[in-house]
């Protein structure tokens, strides 16, 4: 079975020049070595070594099985590669969901596709920032998964921001089920950074709360003092008026 939706918007003559067949879950996917090599040094090395070892100049197409990779992921990656590298595309490829971004990040890391990996990291970092801004919709389980993925794939920007999100969420009662400490997917170093940041954030929050209480107290105390001072002045004026009234009038 052959699929090629990523070639549908390309000139037919160009599509017919495909010189490699990727195979995922038993499905054959025709592609171009130059397009794949431009996105992935991994594929570039495979194609170069294959051409050096095979002196046959016939037009037989190279076959490249992708064991363990899902068909949907490979199709999405091919769509990304062709949109990113050809002049026939009118739009830049976009990721649509965090689930897709996670799957593609693993694929991109496996095959050394740095541009796609960066796109996935940027997408997930934006999601993490949105999660931080809205605690009501905060899904810590997802953030933990993104952290583990980021460590696995070397996405340092995503690691740092996920750590920040979890540290700030530490005092929101989200850790009673020990979802973070019971997981084996996050490194010990990462967990220690989260704990230190959480401690720092908690202390800073307590200091801000204490300062707020002090400001409230000072504001109340100043207002009460002013009210008391005004009352004393009114009392003095009333006493002076009474003294005038009580004095006998001069004849």
Greater confidence (177 vs 82) lies with: 82
- Report how far residue 91's alpha carbon sits from residue 89's, in angstroms, rounded to the nearest whole number: 6
Would you say residue 112 has pLDDT above 80?
yes
Would you say residue 68 has pLDDT above 60?
yes
251 band by pLDDT with thresholds 50, 70 and 90: very low
Q: Tell me which residue has tokens 């200091």.
A: 207
State phi, psi for 155 to the nearest 5 degrees. -90, 85
Would you say residue 3 has pLDDT above 80?
no
Q: Give the per-residue pLDDT at 57.
A: 44
Q: Average pLDDT in the 61-71 region?
A: 92
- Report how far residue 183's alpha carbon sits from residue 187's, in angstroms, rounded to the nearest whole number: 9
**Would strands 20-24 and 27-31 be described as parallel, antiparallel, or unpaired?**
antiparallel
- Report how far residue 216's alpha carbon sits from residue 124's, in angstroms, rounded to the nearest whole number: 40
Would you say residue 104 has pLDDT above 80?
yes
CA count, 13 A, side-chain hemisphere, 113: 25
Single pTM value for the model: 0.69
Would you say residue 23 has pLDDT above 70?
yes
Instruction: Using DSSP, state whether 239 is helix, strand or coil.
Output: helix
Q: Give the per-residue pLDDT at 137.
A: 56
Terminal C-alpha separation, the chain? 127
Count CB-CB contacts under 10 A for residue 171. 13
Q: Mind listing the pLDDT tens digit for each residue in 163-174?
A: 888 777 765 555
Please answer whether residues 103 and 57 qualify as being in contact, where contact means their C-beta atoms are separated by less than 8 angstroms.
no
Please answer whether residues 190 and 199 qualify as being in contact, where contact means their C-beta atoms are separated by less than 8 angstroms.
no
Greater confidence (94 vs 250) lies with: 94
Q: Give the per-residue pLDDT at 121.
A: 95
- Report how far residue 212's alpha carbon sits from residue 201's, in angstroms, rounded to the nearest whole number: 16
Q: Give the per-residue pLDDT at 81.
A: 87
Would you say residue 233 has pLDDT above 90?
no
241 band by pLDDT with thresholds 50, 70 and 90: low
Q: Which helix (H) or strand (E) segment is 22 a member of?
A: strand 20-24
């Amino acid at each position: 079975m052959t699929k090629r939706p990523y070639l549908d918007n390309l000139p037919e003559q160009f599509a017919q020049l495909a010189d490699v067949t990727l195979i995922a879950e038993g499905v054959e996917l025709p592609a171009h070595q130059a397009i794949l090599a431009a996105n992935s040094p991994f594929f570039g090395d495979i194609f170069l070594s294959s051409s050096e070892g095979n002196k046959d100049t016939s037009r037989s197409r190279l076959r490249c099985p992708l064991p363990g990779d899902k068909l949907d992921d490979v199709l999405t990656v091919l769509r990304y590669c062709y949109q990113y590298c050809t002049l026939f595309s009118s739009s830049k490829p976009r990721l649509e969901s965090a689930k897709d971004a996670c799957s593609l990040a693993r694929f991109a890391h496996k095959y050394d596709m740095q541009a796609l990996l960066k796109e996935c990291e940027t997408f997930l970092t934006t999601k993490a920032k949105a999660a931080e801004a809205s605690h009501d919709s905060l899904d810590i389980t997802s953030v933990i998964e993104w952290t583990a993925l980021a460590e696995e794939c070397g996405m340092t920007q995503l690691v740092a921001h996920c750590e920040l999100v979890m540290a700030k969420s530490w005092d929101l009662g989200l850790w009673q089920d020990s979802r973070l400490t019971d997981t084996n997917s996050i490194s010990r170093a990462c967990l220690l950074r989260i704990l230190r940041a959480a401690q720092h954030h908690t202390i800073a929050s307590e200091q801000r709360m204490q300062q707020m209480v002090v400001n409230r107290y000072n504001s109340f105390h100043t207002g009460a003092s002013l009210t008391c001072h005004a009352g004393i002045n009114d009392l003095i004026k009333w006493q002076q008026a009474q003294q005038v009234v009580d004095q006998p009038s001069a004849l």
